[in-house]
């Protein structure tokens, strides 16, 4: 059977959520372990995950390779793959790319919303593309098997990452801009070049990325997936919910503002409602993936196509992306 894989979550982790993952049959999840944290602070977050792995070994374990997805299915657990939503964790030291990969990091965004040492984020007024360090870090990520993620990056930077990377990149959680013009959503040109290069797009369920926000219907979401499939093909499509379950609104300040400003950066939220928006009624937690699968079938996807979008394409991407360059999967 094809696995169920979510390409991005940033939940307030707990036994309840781990059990919901199991109830929903979720075999693997890419989880954000760091935003603006330094290397040492990121290591502390890994220590926290190690304690969860120790406390709940019957529910979760750390995933490092594509084969761990099969292990998760065989043992009735969820494989947790680490990711960073900003390159702050490598500070200004390219050597930390390999160190963090050794510790289990498998995805790293070159930017969050702002300019980084590597590339330009989607909220900057000028997109200068990959920096000198950015090109070097992408090459090092390619070498060790750390996936380049451009979910929060600006257009030119994303296109240059696709072109410069010798391995396919990911946009783990975003939607097409022509469906909903959020700054984080991606143009047809980006999606086309992503697919042509062997990359992958995880469709986001975060309300700021949805047409109609929290009121977006399941049918509208699935029709959007179908239109994207017509444009770039089934093989590049997956799910990256961006589920931030049980997070307090105070966490939004850390995500958006970090330590770079003394003001409050509202990002894609409004000044009147800076916290987390309600999730759509049809997707509240990890037990609701079945609704997406049924919705995709209802708009015309075949059973094998649904299986590919719900996890098969991620599994193939993991197998191609996680081994160090030049090694066997």
Q: Tell me: the pLDDT tens digits for 141-183?
A: 999 999 999 999 999 999 999 999 999 999 999 999 999 999 9
pTM summary value: 0.96
73 domain residue, yes or no: yes
27 located within any domain: yes
Residues 14-53: tens digit of each pLDDT: 999 999 999 999 999 999 999 999 999 999 999 999 999 9
Has residue 210 been placed in a domain? Answer: yes
Question: For the chain, how are helix, strand and coil distributed in percent, rounded to 5?
Answer: 45, 15, 40
Residues sharing a CB contact under 8 Å with residue 210, sequence separation 6 or more, in sequence order? 175, 180, 204, 216, 221, 280
pLDDT of 252 reads 84
Spatial distance between the Cα atoms of 239 and 312, rounded to a whole number of angstroms: 10
> Can you tell me the mean pLDDT for 109-125?
97
Which domain does 120 fall in, by range?
5-321
Per-residue pLDDT for 269 more than 70? no
Asked whether residue 159 is domain-assigned, the answer is yes
Q: Is the pLDDT of residue 68 over 60?
A: yes
Q: Is 183 helix (H, G, I), strand (E, B) or coil?
A: coil
CATH number, position 239? 3.20.20.140
Assess if residue 152 is contained within a domain.
yes
Report the alpha-carbon distance of residue 157 to residue 155 in Å, rounded: 5
Q: Has residue 329 got a pLDDT over 60?
A: no
d(CA 306, CA 4): 10
Domain-located, residue 327: no
Mean pLDDT value across the chain: 95
Max CA separation in the chain (angstroms): 52
Is pLDDT above 50 for 207?
yes
pLDDT tens sequence across 79-114: 999 999 999 999 999 999 999 999 999 999 999 999
Domain contains 61: yes
Residue 10 lies in a domain: yes
What sign results for the dihedral spanned by CA atoms 146, 66, 233, 24? Answer: negative
- Those residues with Cβ within 8 angstroms of residue 7's Cβ, 6 or more apart along the chain or in another chain: 30, 170, 172, 173, 200, 202, 238, 239, 240, 241, 314
Tell whether the model's pLDDT for residue 270 goes beyond 50: no
Q: How many domains does the chain have?
A: 1
């Amino acid at each position: 059977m094809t696995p169920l894989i979510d390409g991005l979550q940033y939940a307030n982790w707990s036994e309840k959520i781990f059990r919901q993952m199991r109830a929903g049959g979720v075999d693997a999840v890419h989880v954000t372990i760091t935003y603006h944290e330094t290397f040492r602070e990121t290591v502390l977050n890994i220590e926290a995950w190690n304690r969860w792995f120790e406390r709940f070994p019957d529910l979760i374990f750390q995933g490092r390779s594509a084969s761990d997805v099969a292990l998760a299915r065989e043992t009735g657990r969820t494989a947790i793959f680490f990711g960073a939503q900003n390159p702050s964790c490598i500070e200004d030291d390219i050597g930390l790319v390999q160190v963090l990969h050794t510790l289990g990091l498998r995805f790293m965004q070159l930017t969050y919303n702002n300019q980084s040492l590597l590339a330009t984020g989607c909220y900057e007024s000028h997109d200068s593309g990959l920096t000198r360090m950015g090109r070097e870090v992408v090459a090092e990520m390619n070498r060790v098997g750390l996936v380049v993620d451009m979910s929060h990056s600006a257009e030119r930077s994303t296109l240059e990452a696709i072109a410069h990377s010798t391995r396919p990149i990911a946009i783990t959680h975003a939607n097409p801009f022509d469906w909903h013009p959020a700054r984080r959503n991606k143009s047809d040109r980006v999606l086309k070049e992503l697919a042509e290069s062997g990359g992958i797009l995880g469709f986001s369920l975060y309300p700021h990325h949805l047409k109609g926000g929290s009121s977006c219907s399941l049918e509208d979401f699935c029709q959007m997936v179908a239109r994207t499939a017509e444009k770039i093909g089934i093989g590049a499509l997956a799910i990256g919910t961006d589920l931030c379950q049980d997070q307090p609104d105070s966490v939004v300040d850390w995500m958006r503002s970090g330590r770079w400003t003394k003001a409050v950066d509202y990002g894609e939220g409004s000044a009147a409602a800076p916290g987390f928006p309600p999730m759509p009624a049809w997707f509240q937690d990890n037990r609701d993936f079945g609704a997406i699968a049924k919705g995709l079938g209802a708009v015309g996807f075949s059973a094998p196509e649904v299986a590919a979008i719900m996890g098969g394409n991620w599994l193939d991407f993991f197998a191609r992306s996680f081994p160090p360059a030049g090694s066997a999967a």
